[in-house]
């Protein structure tokens, strides 16, 4: 029984778990880039999360809806 519990906790912590809501996408983006979430937009395949860093830069982070993969793109000032 302990083995099945540990395997459940490992799968629950999988960073590639796809987000189901904008809130989950925002949390995944904050794990990749620290800062304050400004907005979350979505289209058919991904969430785009805009994060304001302490330095004042705004970073766009894409979270894939199917795979949960997170990728960041730095905005130009």
Ranges of each domain in the chain: 2-74
Beta strand 46-52 pairing with 70-74 = unpaired
Mean pLDDT of 53-66: 94
Q: Does residue 48 surpass a pLDDT of 50?
A: yes
Q: Is the pLDDT of residue 66 over 80?
A: yes
Structure tokens at 35: 């800062």
Specify the fold of 2-74: Nuclear Transport Factor 2; Chain: A, (3.10.450)
Mapped onto helix, strand or coil, the DSSP state of residue 54 is coil
Please, which pLDDT band fits residue 11 given cuts at 50, 70 and 90? very low
Alpha carbon distance 70, 4 (integer Å):
28
Strands 46-52 and 36-42: antiparallel
Least confident piece of the model among 4-8, 32-36, 48-52: 4-8
**Residue 72 confidence class, pLDDT cut points 50, 70, 90:** confident
């Amino acid at each position: 029984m302990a083995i099945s519990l540990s395997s459940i906790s490992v799968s629950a912590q999988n960073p590639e778990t796809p987000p189901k809501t904008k809130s989950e996408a925002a949390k995944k983006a904050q794990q990749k880039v620290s800062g304050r979430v400004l907005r979350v937009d979505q289209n058919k395949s991904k969430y785009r999360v805009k994060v304001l860093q302490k330095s004042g830069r705004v970073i766009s982070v894409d979270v894939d809806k199917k795979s949960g993969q997170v990728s960041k793109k730095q905005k130009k000032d």
